[in-house]
Structure 1
Amino acid sequence: MATRHLYVVRHGDADPFGELTDVGHRQAELLAKRLALLPVDAVWHSPLPRAARTARIIGEQLADVPVREAAELVDHIPYVPAEMPPAWAGFFDGFDADEAAAGARLADALTDRFARPADGGTGTGAGAGTHEVLVTHAYQVAWLMRHALEAPPTRWLGLHTANTALTAIQYRDGLPPTVLAYNDMAHLPADLRWTGFGPGLRP
């Protein structure tokens, strides 16, 4: 099996209706310029408008690279702890067993499809294998990161991701995943970083 290079990104800054803001458009454009330096084979995106629009902006910078929807990337709660950490009780208030089970199924579908080596690929040397961009949501970035680190399921809580921040993970047959970058915002100027986070000081 070939090495799978995943470039996982949260969509650009969005308004309360789920549409990209002007800031989100600019973030996506800058991310696209960074990704254009890589041998990207495909861009996959969540069905939701903020992710789909971000993916289309990225696709405009990547000649002949297909941009497609992947239902597994949709926004959802991937895991609801059976024993609730007190600090998170309010966050999960109202989630019933059926909703928790549905979220777990979606989380499994996400990792089953993307968090594994590729079936094929092209190129030689460091660029061999497949290179795919996943435009998704904060919880899904956190879940893929937790999965790559083989951390307990509850560890997705507290793994925050800024809008259009880049997380890069490699999957190779017979080896644990390699995390190359997490929440990397080097392509964004200071005034466009850290959107999507709550209030507080940022490094």
Structure 2
Amino acid sequence: MSATHATRYLYLARHGEATPDERGLTPTGRRQAVLLGERLRDVPLSAIHHGPLPRAAETAQLIGARLDGVPAHACEPAGDYVPYTPRRDELPTDCADFLLDFVRGFPSGERARGPLLARTAEERFTGCVKGSEDRHELVVTHNFLIGWLVRAALDAPKWRWLGLNQCNAALTVIRYPPPGRPPSVLFSNDMAHLPAPLRWTGWAPELRVAG
């Protein structure tokens, strides 16, 4: 007899706005994290996973303070890294140079170890769960991993994590149902919990839109 499977709801959040030296959050970033925690207060989260860097850890701590006893865990696969370096022949001709220059701007060591961490993140955080109870988990992470997991849920080409950007403390939710149905991106880069002055941080000005 096959094991019973239930649905996983994966909540993904980019850290709050960081200080220039990235050693912590700005006052704006701390307020963003608090408001995100308040938004998640009624979600039956079983765990908070966060990357090891201070900006992610502080964001997770502030979110967790608004929740009721949800355990938080630091883990490297939730960290900041390049999940995949594309080949030129994978990319659209008109933007290949731009995308390759962007990725090559990161240290070679980070690019080399990123794919392994990305695979580990997928194994740990995605897919349905065994048992009869749905699971809700939060991962406080960085822009690249969220883009990678959204891309994977949509079965898009591996290079397409590029350009899937997240604002600070924005929320993305992916639903992984039992076998036989595909994942669903329920919403992405949602900032409904943030007042207008706290939205759109972490993005270049030309990427921002009204609303």
TM-score w.r.t. the length of structure 1 is 0.91
Q: 1:35 aligns with which of 28, 37, 40?
A: 40
Structure 2 counterparts to residues 129-140 of structure 1, below 5 A: 129-140=134-145
Q: Which of 192, 195, 203 does residue 189 from structure 1 map onto?
A: 195
Preserved CA contact (<8 Å) 1:116 1:172: yes
After TM superposition, give the deviation of residue 72 of structure 1 in Å: 0.8
Structure 1 residue 95: deviation in Å? Answer: 5.7
Question: 1:74: how far off?
Answer: 0.8
Structure-1 separation of matches of 2:11 and 2:27: 23
Partner of 1:26: 31
Aligned to 1:199: 205
Q: Secondary structure at 2:6's aligned position in 1?
A: coil
1:121 is displaced (CA, Å) by 6.1
How far off is 1:94 after superposition?
A: 5.4
Structure 2 portions without partners, runs of 5+: none
- Tell me if the contact between 2:80 and 2:141 (Cα under 8 Å) persists in the aligned partners: yes
Conservation of the 8 A alpha-carbon contact between 1:10 and 1:164: yes
Q: Which amino acid aligns with 1:43?
A: I
- Secondary structure, aligned partner of 2:45: coil
Q: Give the Cα–Cα distance (whole angstroms) in 2 for the partners of residues 82 and 177 of structure 1.
A: 27
CA distance in 2, matches of 1:113, 1:192: 31
Identify the residue that residue 63 of structure 1 maps to in structure 2.
68
Equivalent AA in structure 2 for residue 108 of structure 1: R
- Number of aligned residue pairs: 197
Q: Distance in 2 between matches of 1:179 and 1:136?
A: 17
CA distance in 1, matches of 2:197, 2:114: 34
1:151 paired with 2:156, answer yes
- The one of 6, 10, 13 equivalent to 2:14 is 10
Opposite residue 19 of structure 2, the aligned amino acid is D
Give me the CA root mean square deviation. Answer: 1.6
Q: Tell me whether 1:89 sits opposite 2:100 in the alignment.
A: yes
Conservation of the 8 A alpha-carbon contact between 2:167 and 2:199: yes
**Aligned partner (choices 72, 95, 111) of residue 122 of structure 2:** 111
Moved more, 189-198 or 64-73: 64-73
**Percent identity over paired residues:** 47
Whole-angstrom distance in 1 between the partners of 2:82 and 2:58:
22
Q: Helix, strand or coil: the match of 1:195?
A: coil
Once residues 82 and 98 of structure 1 are traced to their aligned partners in structure 2, the CA distance between those partners, rounded to angstroms, is 17
Aligned to 1:126: none
Structure 1 residue ranges (4+ consecutive) displaced by more than 6 angstroms after TM superposition: none
Q: What is the distance in 1 between the residues matched to 2:203 and 2:195? A: 16
**Counterpart secondary structure, 2:139:** strand
Q: Deviations over 1:72-107 (max 9, x none)?
A: 101000111111611223212356876534211111
